[in-house]
Structure 1
Amino acid sequence: MDALEVKQFGFTYAGAGEPALEGLDLNLGTGELALLCGPAGCGKTTLLRCLKQEISPVGERTGAISLHATHIGYVAQSPENQLVMDTVRHELAFGLENLGLLPQVIRRRMAETVNFFGIGPWLGKKVNELSGGQKQILNLAAVTAMQPELLLLDEPTAQLDPIAAGEFLQAVEKIRRELGITVLMSEHRLEEILSGADRVIWMEKGVIKMQGRPGEWAAWMEKQPLPMRGILPAPARIWGRLSETGDSETTCPLSVAQGRIWAAEKANRNKTFACRRPDSAGGISGRDSEARGTVLKAGTVWFRYGRQEDFVLREASLEIFRGEIHVVLGGNGSGKTTFLNLLAGVRKPQRGKIRIQEGLRPAMLTQNPKAMLTADSVQEELEELSERFGYGEKEVDDMLERFRLRDVSGRHPYDLSGGEQQKTALAKLLLLRPDLLLMDEPTKGLDVFAKRELKTVLEELRREGKTVLMVTHDLEFAAEVADRCSMLADGEIVCTDQGKEFFASNLFYTTQTNRMMRGFADRCVVPEDVAYE
Structure 2
Amino acid sequence: MEIYTIKDVSFTFPEKEQDTLSHISLSIKSGEFVTICGKSGCGKSTLLRQLKTILTPHGKRTGEIYYGGQPIEGLDQRTQASEIGFVLQNPDNQIVTDKVWHELAFGLESLGYEQSTIRLRVAEMASFFGIQTWFHKNVSELSGGQKQLLNLASIMAMHPSVLILDEPTSQLDPIAAADFLETVKKINRDLGTTIIMTEHRLEDILPISDRLIVMDAGVIIADDLPHKVGQILSEMNHPMFCSMPSPMQIYAGVDNDLACPVTVKEGRQWLNAFLCDNKPAEMVDTKETIGISSRTVITFKDVWFKYEKNSPDIIKDLSFEVKEGQFYCIVGGNGTGKTSTLSLISGILQPYRGKVLIGGKNTAQMNAKELFTNNLGILPQSPQTLFVKKTVEQDLYEMLSDKPLTKEEKAVKIDAIVKFAELEDLLAMHPYDLSGGEQQRAALAKVLLLEPRILLLDEPTKGLDGFFKEKLALFLKKLNADGVTIVMVSHDIEFCAKYAEVCAMFFDGSIITSNTTQQFFAGNSFYTTSANRMVRHVWPNAVKVEDVIERCQTSR
TM-score by length of 2: 0.90
Matches within 5 A, 1:27-42: 27-42=27-42
How many residue pairs get aligned? The number is 523
Amino acid at match of 1:34: V
Runs of 4+ in 1 over 6 A off after TM superposition: none
Determine if the alignment matches structure 1 residue 372 to structure 2 residue 372. Answer: no
The 1:331–1:376 alpha-carbon spacing in structure 2 relative to 1, beyond 3 Å, is same
Separation in 2 of the partners of 1:472 and 1:145?
Answer: 32
1:401 Cα offset (Å):
1.0
Offset from partner CA, 1:110-159 (integer Å, 9 cap, x none): 22222222233433443334333332222222222222111111111111
1:288 Cα offset (Å):
5.3
Say if 2:38 and 2:240, in contact at 8 Å, map to a contact too.
no
Counterpart position of 1:403: 421
Counterpart position of 1:338: 340
Separation in 2 of the partners of 1:137 and 1:218?
Answer: 30
Q: Point out the structure with max Rg over C-alpha.
A: 2
Offset from partner CA, 1:348-375 (integer Å, 9 cap, x none): 2232221222555112111111111222
Counterpart position of 1:328: 330
Counterpart position of 1:248: 257
Determine if the alignment matches structure 1 residue 499 to structure 2 residue 517. Answer: yes
Counterpart position of 1:525: 543
Offset from partner CA, 1:264-318 (integer Å, 9 cap, x none): 112222342456x7537xxxx53155x4311111222222333443322221222
Determine if the alignment matches structure 1 residue 111 to structure 2 residue 123. Answer: yes
Counterpart position of 1:488: 506
Percent of aligned positions with the same letter in both sequences? 43
Matches within 5 A, 1:130-279: 130-225=142-237, 227-243=239-255, 247-249=256-258, 251-273=259-281, 278-279=285-286
Q: Which moved more, 1:15-24 or 1:61-70?
A: 61-70
Tell me, what secondary structure is at the counterpart of 2:460? coil
Q: Which moved more, 1:376-385 or 1:448-457?
A: 376-385
Tell me, what secondary structure is at the counterpart of 2:197? strand
Separation in 2 of the partners of 1:403 and 1:260?
Answer: 37
Offset from partner CA, 1:455-488 (integer Å, 9 cap, x none): 0121011111111111111000000111101101
Counterpart position of 2:101: 89
Offset from partner CA, 1:309-350 (integer Å, 9 cap, x none): 332222122211110111111112222222222222222223
Counterpart position of 1:60: 60
Amino acid at match of 2:41: G
Separation in 2 of the partners of 1:223 and 1:116?
Answer: 42
Say if 2:85 and 2:160, in contact at 8 Å, map to a contact too.
yes
Counterpart position of 2:73: none
The 1:264–1:457 alpha-carbon spacing in structure 2 relative to 1, beyond 3 Å, is same
Counterpart position of 2:316: 314
Separation in 1 of the partners of 2:12 and 2:91?
Answer: 26
Separation in 1 of the partners of 2:429 and 2:38?
Answer: 20
Say if 1:278 and 1:524, in contact at 8 Å, map to a contact too.
no
Counterpart position of 1:363: 377
The 1:85–1:344 alpha-carbon spacing in structure 2 relative to 1, beyond 3 Å, is farther
Determine if the alignment matches structure 1 residue 286 to structure 2 residue 289. Answer: yes
Which residues of structure 2 form unaligned runs of 5+?
Answer: 69-78, 362-369
The 1:272–1:393 alpha-carbon spacing in structure 2 relative to 1, beyond 3 Å, is same
Offset from partner CA, 1:377-423 (integer Å, 9 cap, x none): 22222111222134611111111111211122222211211000000
Which residues of structure 1 form unaligned runs of 5+?
Answer: none
Pick from 471, 484, 488: which aligns with 2:489? 471
Counterpart position of 2:4: 4
The 1:527–1:302 alpha-carbon spacing in structure 2 relative to 1, beyond 3 Å, is same
Separation in 1 of the partners of 2:342 and 2:313?
Answer: 16
Offset from partner CA, 1:28-83 (integer Å, 9 cap, x none): 11110001011110000111112122221000010011112851111112222222
Offset from partner CA, 1:150-200 (integer Å, 9 cap, x none): 111111111111111111111001001111110111011100111211001
Say if 1:12 and 1:59, in contact at 8 Å, map to a contact too.
yes
Counterpart position of 1:14: 14
Pick from 516, 521, 532: which aligns with 1:514? 532
Counterpart position of 2:113: 101
Say if 2:325 and 2:481, in contact at 8 Å, map to a contact too.
yes
Counterpart position of 1:24: 24
Say if 2:7 and 2:63, in contact at 8 Å, map to a contact too.
yes
Separation in 1 of the partners of 2:317 and 2:530?
Answer: 32
Amino acid at match of 2:311: E
The 1:145–1:398 alpha-carbon spacing in structure 2 relative to 1, beyond 3 Å, is same
Say if 1:6 and 1:64, in contact at 8 Å, map to a contact too.
yes
1:16 Cα offset (Å):
1.2
Tell me, what secondary structure is at the counterpart of 1:392? helix
Separation in 2 of the partners of 1:117 and 1:441?
Answer: 27
Separation in 1 of the partners of 2:458 and 2:158?
Answer: 32
Tell me, what secondary structure is at the counterpart of 1:223? helix
Tell me, what secondary structure is at the counterpart of 1:25? strand
The 1:79–1:187 alpha-carbon spacing in structure 2 relative to 1, beyond 3 Å, is same
1:222 Cα offset (Å):
1.4
Separation in 2 of the partners of 1:377 and 1:221?
Answer: 35
The 1:265–1:135 alpha-carbon spacing in structure 2 relative to 1, beyond 3 Å, is same
Say if 1:78 and 1:368, in contact at 8 Å, map to a contact too.
no
Separation in 2 of the partners of 1:425 and 1:259?
Answer: 37
Separation in 2 of the partners of 1:170 and 1:394?
Answer: 48
